Structure 1
Amino acid sequence: MLRLAALLLALAAAAGAQAQGSTNYGSIYSLYGLGERSEFASSQAAMLGNGGAALRSSVYTNLSNPALWSDQVLTTFSAAGRITTVRGVDGASDDPSVGTAGDVASVLLGVPLYAGRLGLVLSYQPYSRVNYRSASTGTLDSEGTPVGYTLNLEGGGGLQQLSGGLGFRLGSALQIGASADVILGTEEDVQRTAFDTTSTAFATTRRSRSTRVSGVTATVGAAGTVQNLLGDDDALTVGAALTFPTALSVVRTTTLGETLSRDTLTTTQDGDATLPLVLRGGVAYRAGPRWLATVDALYEPWGGFESTVPVGGFDPAAGVDALRDRLRVGGGVELSPGGGRRAVARTALRLGGYAERGLYAPEGQGVATYALTGGVSVPNRLTGSRIDLGVEVGTRGSTEGVLVRDTFVKGTLTFNFGERWFVRRRFN
């Protein structure tokens, strides 16, 4: 298993490097805040409406609530890759922009220090992603002569999250957990202005802004379970997790010139930004081994975001604030037919969905996202190991006013491996 984990980690790193250098582009809404939020609690949770605060499992390690890490029985390794296609169109043009890009959704290692009671998890997942490109045209007056120009905006990069923590079971009904979360990364924004003239009075100009962000926060969680509520095999779980707000260190470097390689002017600005808290809550009901249902909610108060340096949609000096509180509600149902020794009979089917009010409000116009999620989970011959195929289809925004309507499709492939470690051998 260790060799397989090392191989998957290498493949994940290669996929992440390829995604960073991709020439394809995603949503223009990734311009706002610290990028478009990227969450992947587990392949199971992603198919059930992107929730998971109360979703217990002995096979999947759920990153949304550290309290659930105490359920681990097997040492688990999970690696998930994701590919996203976004089609964007605005009200001023019938010509849509289409982009496709791939990235790593998550990589984690879970170790049961005390099986079913104390679990350790180390994980990596993207925190946010910046991946956009847009163009607009206009004219300016030059001594009575109109001169046309094209303004091109491009952005890339994003923030990454590294986490490590413990989940502990208190008795038979209560679980608690905590993790330390390191957030760091770099966002790149380039603005290029090209003029529709050969006059030497107008030259193409480029402005590049590189924003490096780093900081540490923490997450605490709890979950309670009531068993045999309506039957002999059912269980109802209520869970919640809180990620504390934290101050991030921000270093912004701005380069202005014709080519960004010569005749340039570079300035550096140090500052900090306050990352808002994240509050998650959910309820999951498992009616025996064959099916379960879950409902989740998430809240992030981006409306109170503060930063001493400008970020996407927020500029304290200019009085610009296009951010608002983010709220998401979702849920899903899983059916596990069970029975028999064939993989088809043990394949789990999942379907869910969610509605989200985004953290961005360009010129006061709110942006909503609606999506359906689903997929299948296929077991293999190894105990506690499954291969999951998931899909998410949805729409974001509209073509009214300054908004853009995105239609997106996300596909995920996740390898979940489980193995029993630290077994005390007995000799007769």
Structure 2
Amino acid sequence: MIRKFILPLFLLFSIVSFSQNGSASPYSFFGVGDVKFKGTHENSAMGGLAILPDSIHVNLQNPASYASIKLSTFTIGGTFNATQFNSNSANEKAQRSSLDYLAVAIPMKKFGLAFGLLPYSTVGYKIKKEDDVNNITRRYTGDGGLNKAFLGLGYQITPRLSIGTELSYNFGRIETNSIKYLRATQNDGSQETNVSEMSGLTINFGAMYTTKINKNTQFYSALTFTPQSNLSSNNTSNLFSIRYLGDFTPIPIDFLDAQTSKTTIKLPSKYSFGAGLGQSRKWLVGSEVTFQESNTFSNRLSVANNVTYENAVKYSLGGFYIPNYNSFTSYFKKVTYRGGFRYENTGLVINNQSINDYAFTAGLGLPLGGTFSNLNFGVELGKRGTTKSNLIEENYTNILISLSLNDKWFVRRKYD
């Protein structure tokens, strides 16, 4: 059994081991960074659709789905990202790889328990601005992010209706640097370093309802609600005079000032509703909409005067198709074929321009041997942002790979 998983595990960790900085986007400067999709790659390949109470895949978006798990499941996923950044004056490219989630789900009769770790947000950017009039160069860098450790419980009230709740602890560290130097004075200048250490709790509620329409077709629906929550942020700001030599690390010359503060960051409330039609182990098509009250969001530090927030909304459309999950003659008939589309108004507004994000998605679920375990591949082709108002447009390709291992745990021995 273990040998069957050696190659998939090697492929997965060869991708995620390159780097753990999951963002190269300049938009990760704002708020708590680039907020990550809270779901598995199986859902990502369907445009983010998460309305199915699956028995062998963990649905991280809706805790009610944990009650549908029939086998103990371990899942892990990683992403390789390639992005083309376009502005009115320049074009750049960047590549990143990241570990996206690690989770375990355990069935307990009518209950289902799940726990794991995933990133909530990531920060990673390097920006250079030249002021030829005043002979000044500015450089901005940032890294870090928030992580989420969660514990969720789902309960099957009836064979048609399940509910669930999930408690998460968010924690992390973000460091940003702002460097300014005069090219005419042997690159003498100043550097401001801001460090924020954040932590806080969030809770998520979910419900799923399934009913038969006819012999071969079922109706699926799902609801989630996440109330507004707070993060406590301990901030430290240090100011140095520096000497900056080319592209090398700036050399601190003199310590100028230090300040500390404690702020509260509001994470906005969010709720979603989705519905679709399908046939168990055969096909599914559905849509989902997610609303987020981002106008209540606040930055870590009040340093961005050209930034506001508006209510965010995301639309997902997707599904899957399995030709014959029980085929004995063709492996490809047992493969799960996924596809979808998503469009999102992120809620971030810069220079009076709303930052939108959309992508086309596709993927494959490959069964492993004679088990219920599977190796999943996916791709996202998308665009975020705009070149209007001196902003940046991101054209990205995400290559997704995940592994879902299923087995019976905690089985009492019949023979010693």
Matched residue, 1:310: 301
Q: Partners of 2:35 and 2:295 in 1: how far apart?
A: 15
Matched, 1:238 2:216: no
Q: TM-score if structure 2 supplies the norm length?
A: 0.90
Whichever residue aligns with residue 316 of structure 2, its letter is G
Work out whether residues 67 and 112 of structure 2, in 8 Å CA contact, stay in contact via their aligned partners in 1: yes
CA offsets per residue over residues 244-278 of structure 1, 9 Å max, x none?
Answer: 21111001111111257552232211121111112
Partner of 1:165, secondary structure, is: strand
Deviation of the 1:373 alpha carbon: 0.6
Q: Partners of 1:125 and 1:294 in 2: how far apart?
A: 26
Deviation of the 1:126 alpha carbon: 0.8
Matched residue, 1:32: 30
Q: Partners of 2:177 and 2:413 in 1: how far apart?
A: 60
CA offsets per residue over residues 203-242 of structure 1, 9 Å max, x none?
Answer: 2211111111100111111111112x0x313211111111
Partner of 2:344, secondary structure, is: strand
Matched residue, 1:79: 76
Structure 2 vs 1, CA of residues 269 and 2 (structure 1 numbering), >3 Å: closer, same or farther? farther
Q: Partners of 2:367 and 2:19 in 1: how far apart?
A: 29
Partner of 1:19, secondary structure, is: coil
Work out whether residues 19 and 96 of structure 2, in 8 Å CA contact, stay in contact via their aligned partners in 1: no
Work out whether residues 82 and 96 of structure 2, in 8 Å CA contact, stay in contact via their aligned partners in 1: yes
Deviation of the 1:43 alpha carbon: 2.2
Partner of 1:30, secondary structure, is: helix
Matched residue, 1:327: 313
Work out whether residues 175 and 196 of structure 2, in 8 Å CA contact, stay in contact via their aligned partners in 1: yes
Q: How many residues align?
A: 401
Work out whether residues 55 and 294 of structure 1, in 8 Å CA contact, stay in contact via their aligned partners in 2: no
Matched, 1:112 2:107: yes
Q: Where do residues 276-355 of structure 1 align in structure 2 (5 Å cutoff)?
A: 276-306=268-298, 310=301, 313=304, 321-338=307-324, 339-341=326-328, 342-355=330-343
Matched residue, 1:191: 178
Q: Partners of 2:116 and 2:55 in 1: how far apart?
A: 17
CA-based RMSD? 2.5
Q: Partners of 1:2 and 1:305 in 2: how far apart?
A: 46
Work out whether residues 78 and 108 of structure 1, in 8 Å CA contact, stay in contact via their aligned partners in 2: yes
Partner of 2:237, secondary structure, is: strand
Matched, 1:50 2:45: no
Partner of 1:381, secondary structure, is: coil
Q: Partners of 1:48 and 1:297 in 2: how far apart?
A: 13
Matched residue, 2:246: none
Taking only the aligned residue pairs, the percentage that are identical comes to 22
Q: TM-score if structure 1 supplies the norm length?
A: 0.87
Matched residue, 1:421: 409
Whichever residue aligns with residue 262 of structure 2, its letter is D
Deviation of the 1:416 alpha carbon: 0.5
Structure 2 vs 1, CA of residues 260 and 198 (structure 1 numbering), >3 Å: closer, same or farther? closer
| Alignment partner of 1:66 out of 59, 63, 67 | 63
Matched, 1:121 2:118: no
CA offsets per residue over residues 107-142 of structure 1, 9 Å max, x none?
Answer: 00011122xx21100011111111122121225xxx
Q: Partners of 1:183 and 1:312 in 2: how far apart?
A: 23
Deviation of the 1:16 alpha carbon: 6.8
CA offsets per residue over residues 314-365 of structure 1, 9 Å max, x none?
Answer: xxxxx66422222110111211011422422200111101111122111211
Partner of 1:383, secondary structure, is: coil
Q: Partners of 1:311 and 1:44 in 2: how far apart?
A: 38
Contiguous gaps of at least 5 residues in structure 2: 243-249
Whichever residue aligns with residue 200 of structure 2, its letter is G
Q: Partners of 1:233 and 1:384 in 2: how far apart?
A: 23
Q: Partners of 2:55 and 2:40 in 1: how far apart?
A: 12
Whichever residue aligns with residue 139 of structure 2, its letter is N
Work out whether residues 381 and 398 of structure 2, in 8 Å CA contact, stay in contact via their aligned partners in 1: yes
Structure 2 vs 1, CA of residues 82 and 297 (structure 1 numbering), >3 Å: closer, same or farther? same
Q: Partners of 2:100 and 2:218 in 1: how far apart?
A: 30
Contiguous gaps of at least 5 residues in structure 1: 140-145, 314-318
Q: Partners of 1:303 and 1:334 in 2: how far apart?
A: 35
Whichever residue aligns with residue 60 of structure 1, its letter is H
Work out whether residues 40 and 50 of structure 1, in 8 Å CA contact, stay in contact via their aligned partners in 2: no
Whichever residue aligns with residue 282 of structure 1, its letter is G
Q: Partners of 2:205 and 2:391 in 1: how far apart?
A: 36
CA offsets per residue over residues 143-202 of structure 1, 9 Å max, x none?
Answer: xxx640111111111111110011000012110001111111111111111212136xx7
Q: Partners of 1:331 and 1:48 in 2: how far apart?
A: 7
**4+ long deviations beyond 6 Å:** 1-5, 11-14
Q: Partners of 1:395 and 1:17 in 2: how far apart?
A: 24
Work out whether residues 32 and 311 of structure 1, in 8 Å CA contact, stay in contact via their aligned partners in 2: no
Matched residue, 1:100: 95
Structure 2 vs 1, CA of residues 14 and 293 (structure 1 numbering), >3 Å: closer, same or farther? closer
Deviation of the 1:406 alpha carbon: 0.6
Whichever residue aligns with residue 234 of structure 1, its letter is T
Work out whether residues 15 and 79 of structure 2, in 8 Å CA contact, stay in contact via their aligned partners in 1: no
CA offsets per residue over residues 256-308 of structure 1, 9 Å max, x none?
Answer: 1125755223221112111111212211321343211121111211111246x
Structure 2 vs 1, CA of residues 402 and 233 (structure 1 numbering), >3 Å: closer, same or farther? same
| Alignment partner of 1:388 out of 350, 371, 376 | 376
